[in-house]
């Protein structure tokens, strides 16, 4: 199996990069962020307080399934799909709060590793190269300056109803970076053998070409 791990900061472009690599290299892509966000959506529906006891009870009753519709990942949590609700700022923050719990990460970890064993794939997230797939064939850690990342997110959201301001997005991004990098379980950091990609001054096409060259030259 060919496994490619892509980690990085929020708004760095890692999801888009993973998607493009999957298309070019004819691999399946597992977007782990969507899995955690789907879990957060379901948790929101349960209207539970965030504490360890509630999280353990919540996770014990979770069934997560992944399917692909015309190549696009679809996540079902207890037979419910939350496509279209995953990218709100509320869900982003809720995901950041519940994903560090060990029982949540263990639930998703098993799903991730099972998927990688059965599929040639690109997998992206926060701890793929360090925890989920430490023996991945290729590991990329994608980042960019916080202002560039905030601008990218602002451009995505600015035309939506009640879109947050640039300043609000920047503050949210800083908070999520801090949470990701300082959580006790699987903090965001490059694996020792990751290739670091700073996309601040790179186009998507340049980033994809760079990664493809590395993969094709080493396969």
> How confident is the model over 155-181, as pLDDT tens digits?
988 888 888 899 999 998 999 899 889
Residue 154 has pLDDT above 80, yes or no: yes
For 32, 46, 77, 91, 172, the CA distances from 40, given in Å and listed in that order, are 13, 10, 10, 6, 17
Structure tokens at 104: 């949540």
d(CA 163, CA 186): 31
- Tell me what pLDDT residue 60 has: 95
> How confident is the model over 87-125, as pLDDT tens digits?
888 898 899 899 889 999 999 999 999 999 999 999 998
Give the domain ranges of the chain.
3-218
Asked if 68 and 74 count as a contact pair (C-beta separation under 8 A), the reply is: yes
Mean pLDDT for the stretch of residues 129-145: 96
Residue 24 has pLDDT above 70, yes or no: yes
- Tell me what pLDDT residue 84 has: 87
> How many other CB atoms sit within 10 Å of the CB of residue 141?
23
User: What pTM did the predictor assign?
Assistant: 0.85
- Tell me what pLDDT residue 38 has: 97
For domain 3-218, the question of CATH label 3.40.50.300 is answered with yes
- Tell me what pLDDT residue 132 has: 95
Residue 219 has pLDDT above 70, yes or no: no
Question: 23 CB contacts (<8 Å, ≥6 apart)?
Answer: 71
Q: For the chain, what percent of residues have pLDDT higher than 90?
A: 75
- Tell me what pLDDT residue 165 has: 93
Structure tokens at 36: 């955690």
Backbone dihedral angles phi then psi of residue 62, each to the nearest 5 degrees: -90, 135
Angle subtended at Cα 35 by Cα 26 and Cα 91, rounded to the nearest 5 degrees: 130
> How confident is the model over 179-210, as pLDDT tens digits?
889 888 888 999 999 999 999 999 999 999 99
Sign of the torsion angle spanned by Cα atoms 163, 168, 174, 179: negative
């Amino acid at each position: 199996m060919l496994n490619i791990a892509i980690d990085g900061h929020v708004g760095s472009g890692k999801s888009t990069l993973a998607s493009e690599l999957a298309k070019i290299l004819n691999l399946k892509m597992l977007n782990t962020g969507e899995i955690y966000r789907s879990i957060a959506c379901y948790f929101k529906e349960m209207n539970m307080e965030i504490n360890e006891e509630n999280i353990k009870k919540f996770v014990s009753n979770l069934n997560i399934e992944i399917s692909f519709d015309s190549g696009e990942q679809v996540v079902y949590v207890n037979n419910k799909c939350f496509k279209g609700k995953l990218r709100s700022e509320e869900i982003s923050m809720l995901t950041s709060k519940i994903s560090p719990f060990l029982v949540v990460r263990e639930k998703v970890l098993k799903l991730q590793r099972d998927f990688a064993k059965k599929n040639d794939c690109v997998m992206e997230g926060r701890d793929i190269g360090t925890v989920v797939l430490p023996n991945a064939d290729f590991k990329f850690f994608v980042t960019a300056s916080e202002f560039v990342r905030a601008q990218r997110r602002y451009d995505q959201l600015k035309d939506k109803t009640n879109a947050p301001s640039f300043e609000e997005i920047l503050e949210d991004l800083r908070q999520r970076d801090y949470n990701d990098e300082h959580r006790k379980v699987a903090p965001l950091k490059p694996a020792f053998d990751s290739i670091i990609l700073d996309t601040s001054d790179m186009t998507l096409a340049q980033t994809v070409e760079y990664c493809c060259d590395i993969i094709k030259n080493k396969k």
